[in-house]
């Protein structure tokens, strides 16, 4: 999601879904509090644009932290589901074991309720009695073994329930944190839009001037061959997203942030990418910018807080920032930190 010298247009689609925030996201969002609150009357247009740039960059860093937390939350939810399923199956097993033990205990009571020697004397079939007594001895040993199994199963079940409780508490804590810090990020983005609206029309137009496709018609030709068939499929998906809105925290198909667009595009090629741009930069083999081929991922800034897909001819496709649709921009629009071939 590239917040780089481009204005966010008022009235943009803000149907943002709430993602889960980790401690890292809390730190990043807290840093936003230090950002400039608005344009002072004496500010020059260039000062205002610089403030907007800083607000967008800080918000982008925070949003990538949100995405990382969301990915972690997805894993937690899957773990919780598995633990709950294991607890349910463990309880069913314990119930069956208890039923079996109860049946064995009843049989022993019925067969052993009379003194064995007297039972032998009164028996009309001593051989049959001895055979039954031998069986009961084996039943007793089996019952002792099953009782031990039951005790072990109960301990395991208690541990699994405790684990589920811990993970659910972690999820609940994350929900509380994200609700607070999501408001902080959106507040800073609103300030950025307010700053842009304070500029004269010609200054706003100048801020937004860039090389761009302008929509889904007349897409530029690829500059070279894709590095693989999966890269070709991801390129086709990314090009199909041209013109779709930037949506904070979204990964398609109707809206995207920067890393969400990369994840969705490669998913259409059957390739699973991590959720964040920082993780995506390590999802394949890194090459130099001079070796870049269509389909390669281009990460920006030292912290890889923004990412796009190289299309050749010195262009990338990316989701820039709130209010700006998915579009083409020059590969050198920001400092390039890495190029990754998937």
Choosing from 4, 72, 181, 306, the catalytic residue is 306
pLDDT of amino acid 190: 83
Residue 268 contacts by C-beta under 8 Å, 6 or more apart in sequence?
Answer: 233, 234, 236, 237
Q: 3-7, 159-163, 177-181, 332-336: lowest mean pLDDT where?
A: 3-7
pTM score: 0.61
If you average pLDDT over every residue of the chain, what do you get?
75
Share of the chain above pLDDT 70, in %: 66
Token pair for 277 = 């741009």
Using left for φ > 0, alpha for ψ between -120 and 50, and beta otherwise, residue 284 falls in beta
Cβ(338)–Cβ(299) under 8 Å?
A: yes
Tokens coding 38: 């608005």
Q: Is the pLDDT of residue 11 over 50?
A: no
Question: Cα(60)–Cα(322) distance, rounded to whole angstroms?
Answer: 10
Q: Has 4 been annotated as catalytic?
A: no
User: Is the pLDDT at 330 greater than 70, yes or no?
Assistant: yes
Distance of CA 247 to CAs 64, 256, 306, Å? 13, 5, 14
32, with CB counted inside 10 A (0-12, 13-18, 19+), is buried
Mean pLDDT, to the nearest integer, of 116-131?
52
pLDDT, tens digit (0-9, with 9 covering 90-100), for 184-220: 677 777 888 888 888 888 887 776 654 344 444 457 7
Q: What is the pLDDT of residue 60?
A: 78
The pLDDT > 90 percentage for the chain reads 32
Q: In this predicted structure, what is the pLDDT of residue 291?
A: 96
């Amino acid at each position: 999601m590239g917040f780089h010298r481009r204005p966010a247009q008022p009235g943009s689609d803000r149907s943002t879904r709430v993602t889960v925030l980790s401690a890292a996201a809390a730190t990043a969002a807290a840093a936003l509090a230090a950002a400039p609150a608005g344009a002072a009357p004496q500010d020059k247009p260039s000062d205002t644009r610089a403030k907007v740039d800083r607000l967008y960059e800080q918000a982008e860093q925070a949003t990538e932290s949100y995405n990382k937390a969301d990915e972690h939350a997805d894993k937690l939810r899957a773990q919780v589901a598995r633990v709950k399923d294991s607890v349910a199956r463990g309880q069913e097993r314990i119930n069956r074991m208890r039923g079996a033990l109860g049946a064995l205990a009843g049989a022993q009571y019925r067969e052993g309720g009379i003194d064995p020697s007297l039972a032998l004397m009164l028996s009309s079939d001593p051989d049959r009695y001895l055979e039954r007594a031998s069986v009961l001895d084996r039943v007793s040993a089996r019952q002792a073994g099953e009782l031990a199994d039951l005790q072990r199963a109960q301990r395991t079940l208690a541990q699994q329930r405790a684990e589920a409780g811990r993970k659910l508490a972690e999820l609940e804590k994350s929900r509380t944190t994200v609700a607070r810090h999501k408001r902080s990020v959106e507040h800073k983005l609103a300030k950025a839009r307010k700053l842009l609206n304070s500029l004269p029309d010609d200054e706003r137009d100048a801020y937004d001037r860039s090389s761009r496709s302008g929509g889904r018609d007349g897409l530029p030709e690829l500059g070279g061959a894709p590095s693989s068939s999966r890269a070709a499929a991801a390129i086709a998906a990314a090009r199909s997203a041209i013109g779709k809105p930037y949506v904070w925290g979204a990964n398609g198909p109707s809206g995207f942030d920067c890393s969400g667009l990369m994840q969705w595009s490669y998913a259409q090629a059957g390739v699973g990418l991590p959720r964040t741009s920082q993780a995506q930069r390590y999802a394949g083999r890194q090459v130099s910018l001079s070796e870049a081929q269509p389909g390669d991922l281009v990460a920006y800034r030292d912290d890889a807080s923004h990412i796009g897909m190289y299309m050749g001819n010195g262009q990338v496709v990316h989701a820039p920032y709130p209010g700006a649709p998915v579009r083409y921009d020059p590969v050198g629009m920001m400092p390039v930190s890495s190029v990754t071939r998937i």
